[in-house]
Amino acid sequence: MEATRSYTALFFILLISLSSSSSYAKKRKEYKPCKELVLFFHDIIYNGHNKANATSAIVAAPEGANRTILAGEFHFGNVAVFDDPITLDNNLHSPPVGRAQGMYLYDTKNTYTAWLGFSFSLNSTEHQGSINFVGADPLMNKTRDISIVGGTGDFFMHRGVATVMTDAYEGEVYFRLRVDMKFYECW
């Protein structure tokens, strides 16, 4: 009789632990990052008049468009290459802690979306190393999640998710992105 009771208790304990673990799996947003980092980067697009200051350039465009002015149809088909300063806060003139380098391309004809392939090359007292990003960026959303697919140096083998927000947008010459990095695989 005692033994049966114990078994029953054990059964319920198992049941509870199983169900809690499976409900946990569904609430994926509760994963705790092993490292977090917030940085800003600043993109000044070449527009024919700002050669000295520009940090990015249109390098490809669809038929009928040139490489000085972003194409019509929501810039569909424009590819830009960039080398943008990274800062700790939202001030373009703060001392840079690294460079955001790579490309973005506009890939929709009826709204603003981009595809991003780029890296953060960090070189400051706090962080040395690179972080590599890949992902779709639906620009009209307040926040957009892209993948951190790898890293080197202080970010050796790291993986995670970066939430990108447009922190400022001035005409078609300047934009500033805030990047909230959450690493879930640290080494």
Q: List contacts with a copy of itself (CB under 8 A).
A: 2-3, 6-7, 25, 28, 31, 46, 48, 57-63, 66-68, 76-79, 81-83, 99, 101-103, 105-109, 113, 115, 117-119, 121, 129-130, 132, 134-136, 138, 145-153, 156-157, 159-161, 184-187
Helical residues (DSSP H) of 27-66, grouped into ranges? none
Amino acid at site 143: T
Distance, in Å, from the CA atom of 95 to the CA atom of 89, rounded to the nearest integer, reads 10
Q: Are strands 56-60 and 144-153 parallel, antiparallel or unpaired?
A: unpaired
Q: How far is the CB of 83 from a copy of itself (least distance, A)?
A: 5
- Quick one: which H or E segment has residue 42? strand 35-44
Residue with smaller CB distance to a copy of itself, 47 or 90: 47
Say if residues 120 and 155 touch (Cβ distance below 8 Å). no
Q: How far is the CB of 68 from a copy of itself (least distance, A)?
A: 5
Residue with smaller CB distance to a copy of itself, 90 or 175: 175
Distance, in Å, from the CA atom of 137 to the CA atom of 106, rounded to the nearest integer, reads 9
Amino acid at site 4: T
Structure-block tokens of residue 150: 């790898």
In the three-class reduction of DSSP (H, G, I as helix; E, B as strand; rest coil), residue 51 is classed as coil
Q: What is the DSSP letter of 62?
A: -
Residue with smaller CB distance to a copy of itself, 46 or 175: 46
Q: How far is the CB of 54 from a copy of itself (least distance, A)?
A: 8
Q: How far is the CB of 169 from a copy of itself (least distance, A)?
A: 21
Residue with smaller CB distance to a copy of itself, 48 or 124: 48
Q: How far is the CB of 120 from a copy of itself (least distance, A)?
A: 8
Residue with smaller CB distance to a copy of itself, 24 or 90: 24
